[in-house]
Chains A and B, each alone.
Chain A
Amino acid sequence: MHDLTPITALGGTAPRTDTVGDVTLTEVPDVSLASVAARVGQEDLCATRLAKLLGATAPEPGRASSGDPYAALWTGPNQWMLSADFNTHEDIAADVNAHLTDAASVTEQTDAWVCFDLTGPRINAVLELLCNIDLTRFDTANATRTSIHHLGCFVISTEAGQSVRILGPRASAGSLHHAITTAMASAL
């Protein structure tokens, strides 16, 4: 076991939580991420193996799936982001690669991203100040890449109108956190 102590994307030893009114923003460091891209010519094989790994067909464009241990979201043509619990799947890329082998290119993405959960009954009032998502149709399990104050982020609807997960570029975690909390203060 190595002796290096991690810090969160916001630089703390513990994840940060901010609440405004009935909406809460939580930094979620315990998420492992790996990108999966099907090899050209191996798309069907990749789909089959991925379905086996996820326990369901990999999500369609604009969609995400939840599951144990792996959740997934569509990120591009024949490309997905898989996530799992960091505590049990820290080396997610190696784990996923072992299942998909030569059907896909797998890349560790865990620390490329900061993960925030935004929850509460009025999250849409916050989101509409942050990003261009059609919230009238952003149902549960919808997912999209969008721009939040010039930061390319993934937004995943985990419960329509109640809860979203936001993945943003880790190096800009502070800027993203500032943008979200400012919008919370403004909208709520």
Chain B
Amino acid sequence: MIINHPLLGPRDSAEFVYLGAAELMNRPDPETASADDWHDYAYLRDNPAGTHRELWFHEGGDRSILIVTRDTTTHEISAVELARRGAPK
């Protein structure tokens, strides 16, 4: 696969490490979250046949973590953004 890096352009997915679903970014608030919230965060993932938002770490590149929106049935990638919000280049 080729991931179109927002800063570096098209790069082979072999340069990246897959980190899992992008929901991992939504860590529960330790002040308010219930045990169920933590359980869901640690263990439960959707497994969609279709669009999936996921994290790819550019280990063999600039070390950015990207949020990649990918169709799991066709591997078509419809969006790529830097995970770090508002990160400038």
Contacts of B59 in A (CB 8 A): 152
Asked if B64 and A76 sit within 8 Å, CB to CB, the answer is: yes
Chain B, residues 49-70, CB within 8 Å of chain A (1/0): the string is 0000000000111111000000
Q: How many A-B residue pairs have CB under 8 A?
A: 42
Contacts of B63 in A (CB 8 A): 76
Chain A, residues 55-76, CB within 8 Å of chain B (1/0): the string is 0000011100000000000111
Identify which of B15, B62, B88 gathers the most chain A CB atoms within 10 Å of its CB: B62
Contacts of A177 in B (CB 8 A): none
- Is B21 an interface residue when CB atoms closer than 8 A count as contact? no
Contacts of A107 in B (CB 8 A): none
Contact with B12, one of A62, A78, A79, A132 (Cβ below 8 angstroms): A132
- Is B75 an interface residue when CB atoms closer than 8 A count as contact? no
Asked if A76 and B12 sit within 8 Å, CB to CB, the answer is: no
Contact with A145, one of B12, B61, B82, B87 (Cβ below 8 angstroms): B61
Contacts of A147 in B (CB 8 A): 14-15, 60
SS of B interface (majority)? loop
- Is B8 an interface residue when CB atoms closer than 8 A count as contact? yes
Known contacts A43-B88, A152-B59; is-contact A77 B15 (Cβ 8 Å): no
- Is A32 an interface residue when CB atoms closer than 8 A count as contact? no
Asked if B60 and A77 sit within 8 Å, CB to CB, the answer is: no
Contacts of A74 in B (CB 8 A): 62
- Is A144 an interface residue when CB atoms closer than 8 A count as contact? yes
Asked if B12 and A77 sit within 8 Å, CB to CB, the answer is: no
Quick one: which of B33-62 are within 8 Å of A by CB?
A: 59-62
Contact with B60, one of A61, A78, A146 (Cβ below 8 angstroms): A146
Contact with B84, one of A77, A132, A152 (Cβ below 8 angstroms): A77
- Is B9 an interface residue when CB atoms closer than 8 A count as contact? yes
Asked if A61 and B15 sit within 8 Å, CB to CB, the answer is: no
- What is the CA–CA distance of A76 and B7 in the complex, to the nearest angstrom? 9
